[in-house]
Amino acid sequence: MSSVIPVPVDAVPTSAPTRGEVFKAYVALTKPRIIELLLVTTVPAMLLAERGIPSPWLVLTTLFGGTMAAGSANALNCVVDADIDALMKRTKQRPLAQHVVPARNALIFGLVLGVLSFAWLWATTNFLAAAMAVGAILFYVLVYTMILKRRTAQNIVWGGAAGCMPVVIGWSAVTGDIGWPALVMFGVIFFWTPPHFWALAMKFRDDYAAAGVPMLPVVATPQQVAKQIVIYSWVMVGWTLLLVPATGWVYTAFALLAGMWFLIFAHRLNGAIRRGEPGNPMKLFHLSNSYLTLVFVALAVDSALSLPVTGWPF
């Protein structure tokens, strides 16, 4: 029996794509909306490392290199996941699922972006930042996409580590090393990822089930998923406070207020599901984007103003 997954009829184009459509398809391979969120965390990390405003040229070159690295990882992810993307309503419009871009071309595109990102970051920042960018690409593609994603419900927990790397790369681009605040920022995003993604996966549970991807909402009950979301949300909010000794009152205030805001909605979702109601996981999903943006913007403002740091309480 053939193991090839059939391609839906509506995924096959009826006419050759125009140049404009092809260009848009290559841009779509990089998943720009995901890159935007990664860049939102990179700049504040650089400001915190400088405890002020670093060289605008350094910021721009780091963002450009980081954009290429993230685009490389996302494009290669599309190549590996082309078969399941064609089966899921949420992803069936992606370029490879629609056959707008040949898989071979997408593979070359992703690899070239990865090589260019390494060369660019090494030339304009330092070797450590460049090496970590490549490490993030390899981890996302080889560990998350090719190994974890289709094998374990903990896929997004450990695989999400790749999305935490921009803050460490941004920090190292400024300092040339990896300080403890960079690791704390890494942890904030690491613990933010499961509530963020599981909320989305609750909405598209049937999609993941049809594609054979064992996301937690596919293999666990809604009650179990909601409970895990609450647990990770508390850990995430608590983790943001570990950054307080390296920041000022602006960050501290916003981390506390935004954290309370997020926890309220996480508990509301959990409460609704425990009562047998469907809840609104997409509300928490969208809120999670706003939450992460707010926390890191507050960090950027706090650092740019060079406010006195809170310091250790002992």
Q: What are phi and psi of 206, to 5 degrees?
A: -65, -35
pLDDT of 307 reads: 63
**CA atoms 112, 113, 118, 120: torsion sign:** positive
The DSSP 8-state label assigned to residue 101 in this structure reads S
For 116-165, the pLDDT digits (tens) are 999 999 999 999 999 999 999 999 999 999 999 999 999 999 998 999 99
DSSP state of 248: -
DSSP string, 114-155: HHHHHHHHHHHT-HHHHHHHHHHHHIIIIIIIIIITTT-TTH
Burial of 211 (0-12, 13-18, 19+ CB in 10 A): buried
Positions of the chain with pLDDT lower than 50, given as ranges: 1-11, 313-314
Closest listed residue to residue 41, CA positions, set 201, 196, 149 = 196
Q: What pLDDT is recorded for position 36?
A: 86
Q: What's the confidence (pLDDT) of residue 13?
A: 52
Tell how many helices (H) and how many strands (E) occur in the chain: 14, 0
Q: What gap in Å lies between CA 11 and CA 146, rounded to an integer?
A: 23
* pLDDT given at position 6: 47
Q: What does 52-93 look like in DSSP terms, one character per residue?
A: S---HHHHHHHHHHHHHHHHHHHHHHHHHTHHHHTT-TTTTT
pLDDT of residue 110: 97
Written as six digits, the tokens of 177 are 């090393």
Helix (H, G, I), strand (E, B) or coil at 297: helix
Q: DSSP readout, 1-60?
A: ---PPPPPGGGS-SSPPPHHHHHHHHHHHT-HHHHHHHHHHHHHHHHHHHTS---HHHHH
pTM of the model: 0.90
Q: Residue 311: its pLDDT value, please? A: 60
Taken in order 184, 187, 188, 189, is the CA torsion positive or negative? positive
